[in-house]
Structure 1
Amino acid sequence: MSVLSSASPEKIYKLARDLSKLPAWASGLATGSLTLIDANSLELDSPMGRVHTEFSPINSCGILDHTVILPDGTKVLNPFRVIPHPTGSELIFTVRPSENFEEDCQAVSEDLERLVSLVESA
């Protein structure tokens, strides 16, 4: 799934990688309180319960991959990239096949659009 933005990849990445701001745009992951553990990981309330999330280290390549560790210990890798595009940037998030695939795609699309809106209105 991808979304385009007129904002630069650097601006999108900067806001998306600010873990404290996840509740502002990532409702599929962050629905309540969060506890930052270090620069790359946090625990947070999510639609799946309290989860631990580990992000790729801060980088200049636009890689925002993150692993969500569910309450039952299941680890789910979420590939997420922000890359240059002729109009600004393209946000690419891989949605894994599941029983709720269509709903997951809709939720991710809304989250990415919310992220773009936050960055473009700033």
Structure 2
Amino acid sequence: MSPSSAPPPDQKIYEIARDLPRLPAWASGLASGTLSLIDANSLHLESPMGLVHTEFTPINTYGILDHVVTLPDGTKVLNPFRVIPHDTGSELIFTVRPNENFEEDCQAVAADLERLVALAEK
């Protein structure tokens, strides 16, 4: 693909992030082992939290990657996630809600997003 036909950085990041079988390559906070696709938007996967069910917002042109993770105890956690075009590339916005592990969660999400960007830059 020549540089002129390459997708914009935000689209490339979105495409990689939305490619559910690729989650283990960058989202270690969510996917740490095998996964089983259910359909185009949902999957079961091994995670650091145990076996979880994850359902993503359908593929869209707005860069929305929101997903609900159902934890082993049945708790559902909404994870808002956006890839937004920016003058210098892309802005990734992932909401981490306050909890007892907030700082650790923020560091884990930052590391995951750095891996996602590295994949897009290859």
TM-score range, shorter chain: over 0.9
**Separation in 1, partners of 2:33, 2:97:** 24
Higher strand share: 1
Task: State the partner residue of 1:114.
Answer: 115
Superposed displacement of residue 8, structure 1? 1.3
1:4-19 pair list within 5 angstroms: 8-19=9-20
Aligned-partner SS, 1:53: strand
**Separation in 1, partners of 2:10, 2:117:** 11
Percentage identity across aligned positions?
77
Aligned-partner SS, 1:111: helix
What is the root-mean-square deviation of aligned Cα atoms in Å? Answer: 0.7
Task: State the partner residue of 2:61.
Answer: 60
Tell me which amino acid in the other structure corresponds to 2:72.
Answer: P
Tell me which amino acid in the other structure corresponds to 1:114.
Answer: R
Moved over 3 A (4+): none
1:42-121 pair list within 5 angstroms: 42-121=43-122
Relative contact order, CA 8 A, sep 6+: which one is greater?
1
Which stretches in structure 2 are left out of the alignment for 5+ residues?
A: 1-7
Which stretches in structure 1 are left out of the alignment for 5+ residues?
A: 1-6
1:63-84 CA distances to partner (integer Å, 9 max, x unpaired)? Answer: 0000000000000000000001
Task: State the partner residue of 1:35.
Answer: 36
Larger Cα-atom Rg: 2
Give TM-score, length-normalised by structure 2: 0.93
Aligned residue pairs, count: 115
